[in-house]
Structure 1
């Protein structure tokens, strides 16, 4: 498929596309293709753009069991509620 017509862009999505095109000095078509590829999980280049939901993906599965245990111990006290603070 070489060409596709997409309708129904709302104002927020249009601003996002135009902003990406302006920031990266690329055409609107290139910006749309870039966003489509990113949304499809293809071509994960680092653009510095915050992507909600996947920006920490590179950390998933990177801790060893010892590191995970250490983190659990470090935050253990945070699980306790200090009732005096809520009076």
Structure 2
């Protein structure tokens, strides 16, 4: 496993790492790695797969059909490609 020295942790970042370590019952190293992976958009399992995100998950299945139809109608004009723009 590779090592990397990182300098310049400010008090706020240091407190965030320590807080995560205490809350999760993990080492400072594991807490720092978890935050680095999250910031890089990677999964926690170390598989290296980029994570697209889950910030919109709470919207899935929450719209009525009427709301979905309204959104689709509002976005309909974006289905048309202006050929002149791509020349």
Tell me which residue corresponds to 1:23.
Answer: 23
Unmatched 5+ residue regions in structure 1?
46-53, 71-87
1:1-87 matches, within 5 Å, as 2-43=2-43, 56-58=55-57, 66-68=66-68, 69=70
- With structure 2 as the length reference, what TM-score do the two structures score? 0.55
1:61 positional shift: 8.1
Segment of structure 1 superposing worse, 19-28 or 54-63: 54-63
Question: 1:60/1:30 Cα in 2 relative to 1: closer, same or farther (>3 Å)?
Answer: same
- With structure 1 as the length reference, what TM-score do the two structures score? 0.55
Output the aligned Cα RMSD: 3.1
Tell me which residue corresponds to 2:84.
Answer: none
In structure 1, C-alpha distance between the alignment counterparts of 2:40 and 2:59, rounded to whole Å: 19
Question: 1:11/1:67 Cα in 2 relative to 1: closer, same or farther (>3 Å)?
Answer: same
1:30 positional shift: 0.1
1:43 positional shift: 1.1
Question: 1:3/1:55 Cα in 2 relative to 1: closer, same or farther (>3 Å)?
Answer: same
Unmatched 5+ residue regions in structure 2?
46-52, 72-87
